Amino acid sequence: MNPSTLTLTKNSHSCVRLDKDGQSLVIDPGGFSGEGDAVGADALLVTHEHPDHFDEARLRAAMEANPAAEIWTLRSVAEQLAPAFPGRVHTVGHGDTFRAAGFDVQVHGELHAVIHPDIPRITNVGFLVDGALFHPGDALTVPAQPVDTLLLPVMAPWSKISEVIDYVREVGPRRAIDIHDALLTDLARPIYDSQIGALGGSDHGRMAPGERTGL
């Protein structure tokens, strides 16, 4: 594979890995992802503090395996990791831009989706990588610019399928690839596939953990 090609590896749930020019970036290595999914990363991004997106042990393992690796995340996560890795953990928020391991990243979004009115909302940020791929974390954030590939939170305690379909329509990506899918059973997947594919207005697909595709 051409080393200049941006490639996506789908890991379990909301964890993905991007590779380009010999460097790698991992987003949301949480408790539902594989124990080694973050190891080998040059840059790590975390959208929010919920354990299915943020696992401290996985991040520590990645940082210890690669002394040059760095993390970009919101304050609640950064405060837990910065003391152990001084100068290598960066706090970001909506509107920030930065370069991480050769990837250009823009930060979009401020709050987690509403789970229930009685549950306080926490901070959540999404990451637009190289102006092409958007990982929204646990929110239906619409970036203020076109998105080629949307990583789509397909099933969560805070969403229903009509909202997922409308989110794809509003973002209008060339293609949407499922994430946040650990709670979705194989029995139900064809329903989501057919309805999102038929009604979302974008090419829609899903990838098995470990599967790669070019972007």
Compute the distance between CA of residue 182 and CA of residue 209 in angstroms, rounded to an integer: 10
Site of tokens 């080694």: 36
Compute the distance between CA of residue 57 and CA of residue 62 in angstroms, rounded to an integer: 9
Closest CA to 93 of 127, 62, 64: 127
| Amino acid 151: pLDDT | 98
- What's the domain range around 123? 7-206
pLDDT in tens, 163-184: 999 999 999 999 999 999 999 9
Q: Would you call 125 exposed, middle or buried from its count of C-beta atoms within 10 A (0-12, 13-18, 19+)?
A: buried
Token readout for 130 is 């190289």
Going by pLDDT thresholds of 50, 70 and 90, the confidence category of residue 2 is very low
Is 1 part of a structural domain of the chain? no
In 140-198, DSSP assigns E strands to: 149-153, 175-179
85: CATH: 3.60.15.10
Contacts of residue 43, defined as CB under 8 A and 6 or more positions apart, other chains included, come to: 23, 24, 25, 26, 69, 70, 71, 72, 100, 101, 103
In the chain, the number of structural domains is 1
Phi/psi for 54 (5° steps) reads -130, 115
Is 211 part of a structural domain of the chain? no
Is 38 part of a structural domain of the chain? yes
Is 213 part of a structural domain of the chain? no
Is 86 part of a structural domain of the chain? yes
| Amino acid 1: pLDDT | 40
Is 212 part of a structural domain of the chain? no
| Amino acid 186: pLDDT | 93
Is 174 part of a structural domain of the chain? yes
Going by pLDDT thresholds of 50, 70 and 90, the confidence category of residue 5 is confident
Q: What percent of the chain has pLDDT over 90?
A: 97
Cα 54 → chain centroid: 11
Compute the distance between CA of residue 85 and CA of residue 96 in angstroms, rounded to an integer: 22
pLDDT in tens, 80-103: 999 999 999 999 999 999 999 999
pLDDT in tens, 27-73: 999 999 999 999 999 999 999 999 999 999 999 999 999 999 999 99
Is 49 part of a structural domain of the chain? yes
pLDDT in tens, 114-158: 999 999 999 999 999 999 999 999 999 999 999 999 999 999 999
